[in-house]
């Protein structure tokens, strides 16, 4: 079936491109009320109203309206809306991420939401659900992003921009058909994405389970066990030791930030901060530089197989350094862990992965202000220590298994991305008339 209109016209809008020649053009201000008042009188003091902050609106148009309060108790200045309205997040990054919704129904008459919502109330000619999809359109959101005003980090889409947005509309019946088609199709796509995200959760649980067993029991199920003396750990192989990290590894904290040169012997060098530390490998997409003295470079230079452990941020997150840069150093948000003798830092990496994901590391860090895994705390953590040869066997096994899992995750993640992109392009094509939706389409099995 040919879904493309034969007669198209230039919209004169770069983001919009061509639209069907039969569709009529308006400004949003001509067909909606922006920031409308209560449609049926101010609520009385005891009337229950929904309270819907930004985090109760999803990036797929869902509204979670389970919280209700008496009107007299609701903070003044919040944005009011009601069933039939369209809400559109105006602030970065919520706007770019697609936050917004068509308010199909509410448990009460009125709702109050974030001041960072624009509220559009359809007046005539436009169907509310169609208007939502039009404003959700990723190309429109990108156009809105380019036209934001305000300081970095606090940029917003202005009321004027919304009001003067050009919108091309077919008759209301066609709008409703398009909106119903998108409801149906997007629901199928969302269900497929959800299923694939469940697969990722299962794979993540499998990875954790495999690592847990390998670093606490080893690879030989027939080995004799002994009590570790730690209730949450249970039994470990009889020939393994259980001792503090500092006995086998040297821990060094990185350097405080230095924004300018203090001595002519100092040179500007690449360094890693907490944001660069991801599980397994360092993220080098944004590596910054600061000044280091000759002594600091000697003490803080990274070597192959060094373990990098986040001191702040997501405390305990750990990477293995593989000499991705020829010369790189560390900031004081990172603890460098280096083997004193022949112990495998990769085995310790898997142990710390296990400790982080059972909640142990989060339990020992200070949270009076900001959590910190200091060098002193890290070196006192106990770990199970198999003989070095057995450490190597466990590392080889875990490298292979986790790599297999990561490859499958990569395929699934790519499939999710493809579905998400298809969802965006489908919405754009439908609301701009580049894909014609007929009555037959509504009967098709999706």
Collapsing DSSP to helix, strand or coil, 179 comes out as: helix
- 3-state SS assignment for residue 32: strand
262 shares a domain with 161: no
Long-range contacts formed by 421-424: CB under 8 A, 24+ apart: 422/189, 423/186, 423/189, 423/190, 424/137, 424/138
- What is the structure's pLDDT at 319? 94
Task: Count how many Cα atoms sit within 13 Å of the Cα of residue 195 in the half-sphere of its side chain.
Answer: 8
The beta strand positions in 68-198, using DSSP E, are 68-70, 79-82, 86-89, 100-102, 110-113, 117-122, 166-169
Q: Is residue 208 part of a domain?
A: no
Q: Which two tokens stand for residue 333?
A: 């948000």
Say how far residue 224 (Cα) sits from the centre of its chain: 44
Instruction: Tell me, yes or no, whether 191 lies in a domain.
Output: no
**Token representation of residue 431:** 């609301």
The DSSP secondary structure of 289-347, one letter per residue, reads: EEEE-HHHHHHH---TT-EEEESSSSTT-EEE---SSSS-EEBTTEEEEEESSS--HHH
Q: Residue 1's pLDDT is what?
A: 43
Counting as low any pLDDT under 70, the low residues of the chain are: 1-6, 366-369, 444-446
First to last CA, the chain: 15
Q: Which residue has the tokens 């907490």?
A: 274
Q: 138 phi and psi, to 5 degrees? A: -60, -35
Q: State the Cα angle at 197 between 194 and 203, rounded to 5°.
A: 145
Last residue in a domain, options 385, 410, 440: 385
Pick from 115, 140, 169: which residue ends a domain? 169
CA distance 234 to 214: 14
Which long-range CB contacts under 8 A does 149-153 form with residues at least 24 apart? 153/92
Coil, strand, or helix at residue 391?
Answer: helix
Question: Exposed e or buried b for every residue in 13-34, given b needs 16+ CB within 10 A?
Answer: bebbeebbeebeeeebbebbee
349, 365, 385: which is the final residue of a domain? 385
Query: Please, which residues bridge with residue 81 across strands?
Result: 111
User: Domain span at residue 50?
Assistant: 24-169
* 270 shares its domain with 373: yes
Give a yes or no: residue 85 inside a domain: yes
Q: Let me know whether 267 and 369 are in one domain.
A: yes
Q: Can you tell me whether residue 33 is helix, strand or coil?
A: strand
Same domain, residue pair 140 and 277: no
Give strand pairing partners of 91: 156
Inside any domain, residue 224:
no
**Whether residues 252 and 381 fall in one domain:** yes
Tell me if 294 is assigned to some domain: yes
Residue 58 lies in a domain: yes
CA distance 316 to 373: 7
83-121 pLDDT, tens digit per residue, is 999 999 999 999 999 999 999 999 999 999 999 999 999
Three-state secondary-structure class, residue 112: strand
Q: What CATH number is attached to the domain comprising 53? A: 3.90.220.20
Total structural domains within the chain: 2
Q: Are 385 and 343 in contact (CB under 8 A)?
A: yes
pLDDT of residue 369: 62
Note whether residue 211 is domain-resident. no
Query: How high is the pLDDT of residue 29?
Result: 96
Average predicted confidence (pLDDT) for the chain = 93
pLDDT at 175: 96
Residue 91 lies in a domain: yes
159 & 253 share domain = no
């Amino acid at each position: 079936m040919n879904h493309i209109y034969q007669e198209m016209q230039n919209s004169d809008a770069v983001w919009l491109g061509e639209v069907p020649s039969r569709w009529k053009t308006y400004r949003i201000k001509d067909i909606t009320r922006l920031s409308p008042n209560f449609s049926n009188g101010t609520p009385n003091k005891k009337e229950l109203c929904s309270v819907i902050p930004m985090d109760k609106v999803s990036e797929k148009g869902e509204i979670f309206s389970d919280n209700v309060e008496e009107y007299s108790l609701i903070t003044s200045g919040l944005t009011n809306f009601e069933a039939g309205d369209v809400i559109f997040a105006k602030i970065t990054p919520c706007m770019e991420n697609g936050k917004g919704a068509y308010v199909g129904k509410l448990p009460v008459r009125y709702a109050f939401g974030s001041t960072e919502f624009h509220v559009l109330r359809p007046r005539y000619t436009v169907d509310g659900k169609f208007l939502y999809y039009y404003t959700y359109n990723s190309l429109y959101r990108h156009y809105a992003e380019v036209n934001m005003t305000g300081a970095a980090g606090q940029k917003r889409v202005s009321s004027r921009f919304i009001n003067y947005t050009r919108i091309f509309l077919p008759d209301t019946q066609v709008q409703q058909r398009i909106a119903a088609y998108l409801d149906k199709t997007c629901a199928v796509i969302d269900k497929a994405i959800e299923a694939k995200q469940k697969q990722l959760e299962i794979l993540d649980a499998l990875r954790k389970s495999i690592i847990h067993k390998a670093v606490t029991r080893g690879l030989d199920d027939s080995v004799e066990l002994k009590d570790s003396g730690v209730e949450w750990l249970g039994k470990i192989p009889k020939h393994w030791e259980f001792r503090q990290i500092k006995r086998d590894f040297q821990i060094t904290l990185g350097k405080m930030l230095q924004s300018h040169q203090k001595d002519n012997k100092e040179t500007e060098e690449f360094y890693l901060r907490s944001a660069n530390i991801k599980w397994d490998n360092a993220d080098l997409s944004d590596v910054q530089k600061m000044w280091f003295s000759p002594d600091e470079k000697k003490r803080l230079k990274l070597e192959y197989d060094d373990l990098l452990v986040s001191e702040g941020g997501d405390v305990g997150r750990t990477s293995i350094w593989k000499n991705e840069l020829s010369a790189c150093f560390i900031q004081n948000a990172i603890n460098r862990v280096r083997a004193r003798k022949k112990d495998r830092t990769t085995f310790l990496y898997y142990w710390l992965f296990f400790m982080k994901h059972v909640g142990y590391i989060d339990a020992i860090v200070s949270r009076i202000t900001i959590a910190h895994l200091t060098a002193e705390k890290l070196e006192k953590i106990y770990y199970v220590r198999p003989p070095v040869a057995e450490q190597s066997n466990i590392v080889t096994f875990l490298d292979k298994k986790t790599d297999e899992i990561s490859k499958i995750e990569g395929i699934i993640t790519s499939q999710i991305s493809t579905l998400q992109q298809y969802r965006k392009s489908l919405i754009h094509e439908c609301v701009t008339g580049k894909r014609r939706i007929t009555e037959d389409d509504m009967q098709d099995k999706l």
